[in-house]
Amino acid sequence: MVHHPSPSLVHAPDVSAADLRRRLSITDHDLLLVRLYGSVIVHRLDEFVRHFYAWLELQPEFSHFFSDGERLSRVQRQQTEHWHDFFSGTLDDEYVARRRRIGDTHARIGLSLAAYLASVDVSLTILLDRMYDGRLEKQAYIDCQRAVTKMIHADTIVIVDAYTRMTQRTLTEQTRALMEMSTPVTQLWDSILVLPVVGIVDTPRANDIMTSSLRRIAETRAKVFIIDVSGVSVIDTAVANHILKVTHATRLMGCQSVLSGVSPIIARTMVELGIDVGSIETSATLRDALERAFRTIGVMVVPVPGTPTR
Amino acid sequence: MNGTVTVELHAEVDLSVLMRQAGAFLRRLGLDAEERDRLLTVAMELARNILKYARTGLVRLSSERRREAVVVRVEATDRGPGIADVALALTDRYSTGGSLGLGLPGVRRMVDRMEIESVPGSGTRVLAERCVTPRSGGRS
Amino acid sequence: MIPVTAAFAHLEGALVATVLGDMDPEGWNGLRRSLLDEVQHRGVRALVVDLSAVRVMDPDDFEHLRRTLKMAAVLGAPAVLTGVSAPLAAALASLGANLEGVVGEATVERALDAARRASS
């Protein structure tokens, strides 16, 4: 049996509205207060925009991001919409999704998180101090301030999450780009090629491995192709299938493939996954594979007589 | 408190995110390399299935201490087409995706318990559990 | 009438069949029949099929060729491919063609050697 409540088959986002409510203890009453404060200021949001852009113009990023007036007015319009949304006092998953899109956009255009957080702080000051007209009771005003701040924090959590995700994505994309740049099929000896595989084999990389290996085999008329996987910790069926395809393809071109660096752990995993290890020639170390390759091409490596041995 | 790790899958790039985050999570649990790699393989299998059949979804790793042992859970959820015949999908060499189709039965062999809930047309949830004993150094 | 799809050269009990270019399924079928014919009636002991003029091949056509080579082997003529280009090999493997048991060599000489070795 399952040991925890079985989740429905709904695709839950990482930060959900429920998460945010729990984390920041945002109650329905808080949302009501946000709506109440909204009624004080939403009809004067043009004022907010004025204050905000007076500040923004002094920021170093301003000229970089708002060089054309059309974009500026579009962003101002979106911002007004955003605050309307905010002060409607609804914190549900759709709201979170809209916030995440804003975060994505900011991250994508390359606005720094520091600049973003500074703008949040300024917005808070404008909304709670400058635009406040003193019409609420003192305690009500204090409670509203607290509720609005909580909501702002909720926004910030979502946005920071979006930034983190974007950064991580960029980072992995760059790493992959680096790996892709080098599928280093190296000629180790006449007729012997070796390819060290590192990291994760995804579709573009798998295709890259296929084409560069076969191209090199055609160029060098290699007879043995060693695929060294000692730098890979996980061989799942997708990777194994691909390696199988490569070995079959090289065989068509007169080149025999050997999978080297297969640790006992990987060997066991492959067997458990049901991969037909028998159809791939494997060896535990690159050294073993090389020895076998030398035998295949009829080369013997012998010590030079008279060389002192260690 | 070991928490959980959740990785959203939208594209193959996310596989490396999963590898890194799940790897760190399993290290925090104090598992040895063999156990880590085994559970990572399970996570990768399920993640690739999601990308292949449902395009997007989630893989979540969590753990629960049971006396000296730790139960590690790998859970994969998607809102994809679902599996029409779960029993058939657990048969070796069955595939609808043009590959050897070894994923699910293989995963089942690698874990102690596996559970599949699937509703054709609305999604699939696969839960794989393995009970492991962390090496003493990794506990905290 | 079998269209001319390949040039056959007999060399001391070995047959080298050079496919003349890309073919439709009809062509591959024709080649299949004539290959098995030659093997059966001319006492071929080793078979080499040269694909260097072939740029593209459908996985189904390849499957037929694979079976033909297998049959040739059963009839006493182990078969070896040659001239498979890197793009052709990559395409066949990626498209999921069954390549198991099919052996190629980089040159006609090597292929002849390999086929003769397998035959003895």
**pLDDT per residue as tens digits for the range A208-219:** 899 999 999 999
Residue B17 φ then ψ, to 5° = -60, -45
∠ CA A183-A284-C103, nearest 5°, is 65
What pLDDT score was predicted for residue B105?
85
How close C1 gets to chain A, by Cα (Å)?
A: 31
The two tokens of residue A291 are 């020895």
Residues of chain B contacting A175 with CB distance shorter than 8 Å:
16
Does one domain contain both A238 and A131? Answer: no
What pLDDT score was predicted for residue B83?
85
Q: Are C31 and C3 in contact (CB under 8 A)?
A: no
Q: Is the pLDDT at C17 greater than 70, yes or no? A: yes
| Alpha-carbon span C90 to A248, nearest angstrom | 10
| Nearest CB partner across the interface for A9, out of B13, B44, B79 | B79
Does one domain contain both A21 and A170? Answer: yes
Q: Is the pLDDT at A167 greater than 60, yes or no? A: yes
Chains that touch A (3 or more CB pairs under 8 A): B, C
Q: Is the pLDDT at A4 greater than 80, yes or no? A: no
Least confident range from A79-88, B89-98, C82-91: namely B89-98
Q: Determine contact: A215 vs chain C, CB below 8 A.
A: yes
Residues of chain B contacting A272 with CB distance shorter than 8 Å:
106, 109-110
State mean pLDDT over B28-56. 92
Q: Are A218 and C86 inside 8 Å of each other by CB?
A: yes
- Which chain C residue's Cα is nearest to A219? C86
How close C111 gets to chain A, by Cα (Å)?
A: 8
Does one domain contain both A192 and A136? Answer: no
Q: Are strands A192-198 and A224-231 parallel, antiparallel or unpaired?
A: parallel
Q: Are strands C79-82 and C104-105 parallel, antiparallel or unpaired?
A: parallel
The range of the structural domain enclosing residue B67 comes to: 4-138
Q: Give the rounded distance of the alpha carbon of A117 from its chain centre.
A: 22
Does one domain contain both A230 and A273? Answer: yes
Reported as a pLDDT band with limits 50, 70 and 90, residue B68 is confident
**Residue boundaries of the structural domains of chain C:** 6-119
| Nearest CB partner across the interface for A214, out of C82, C90, C105 | C90
State mean pLDDT over C64-76. 92
Query: Count of domains in chain A?
Result: 2
Residue length of chain C: 120
Reported as a pLDDT band with limits 50, 70 and 90, residue B72 is very high
Does one domain contain both A30 and A165? Answer: yes
Does one domain contain both A90 and A229? Answer: no
- Which chain B residue's Cα is nearest to A265? B34
Residues of chain C contacting A221 with CB distance shorter than 8 Å:
106-107
A8-51 pLDDT tens trace:
333 334 688 998 999 999 999 999 999 999 999 999 999 999 99
What pLDDT score was predicted for residue A246?
92
Q: Determine contact: A241 vs chain C, CB below 8 A.
A: no
Residues of chain B contacting A168 with CB distance shorter than 8 Å:
17
Does one domain contain both A171 and A193? Answer: no
Sequence-separated (6 or more) residues with CB below 8 Å from residue C22: C53, C54, C55, C56, C57
Residues of chain A contacting C94 with CB distance shorter than 8 Å:
207, 210, 245
CATH number of the domain encompassing residue B25: 3.30.565.10
Does one domain contain both A263 and A167? Answer: no
Does one domain contain both A158 and A231? Answer: no
Q: Are strands C14-19 and C6-11 parallel, antiparallel or unpaired?
A: antiparallel
State mean pLDDT over C71-100. 92
The range of the structural domain enclosing residue A160 comes to: 17-176
- Which chain A residue's Cα is nearest to B32? A265
Q: Give chain A's radius of gyration (CA, Å).
A: 31
Q: Are C86 and A252 inside 8 Å of each other by CB?
A: no
Query: Count of domains in chain B?
Result: 1
State mean pLDDT over B106-116. 91
Does one domain contain both A226 and A153? Answer: no
Reported as a pLDDT band with limits 50, 70 and 90, residue B1 is very low
Of all residues in chain A, what percent carry a pLDDT higher than 70?
91
What pLDDT score was predicted for residue C25?
87
Amino acid code (one letter) for A22: R
Q: Determine contact: A8 vs chain C, CB below 8 A.
A: no
> Collapsing DSSP states into helix, strand and coil, what is residue B118?
strand
Burial of A306 (0-12, 13-18, 19+ CB in 10 A): exposed
| Nearest CB partner across the interface for A214, out of C89, C102, C105 | C89
What pLDDT score was predicted for residue C4?
67
State mean pLDDT over C47-51. 96
Does one domain contain both A168 and A219? Answer: no
Residues of chain C contacting A280 with CB distance shorter than 8 Å:
none
pTM for this structure? 0.65
Is A64 domain-assigned? yes
Q: Is the pLDDT at A3 greater than 60, yes or no? A: no
Direct distance between the N- and C-terminal alpha carbons of chain A, in angstroms, rounded to an integer: 62
Q: Is domain C6-119 classified as CATH 3.30.750.24?
A: yes
| Alpha-carbon span A126 to A48, nearest angstrom | 7
Reported as a pLDDT band with limits 50, 70 and 90, residue A180 is low
A81-136 pLDDT tens trace:
999 999 999 999 999 999 988 888 887 777 788 888 999 999 999 999 999 999 99
**Which one of A121, A148, A176 terminates a domain?**
A176
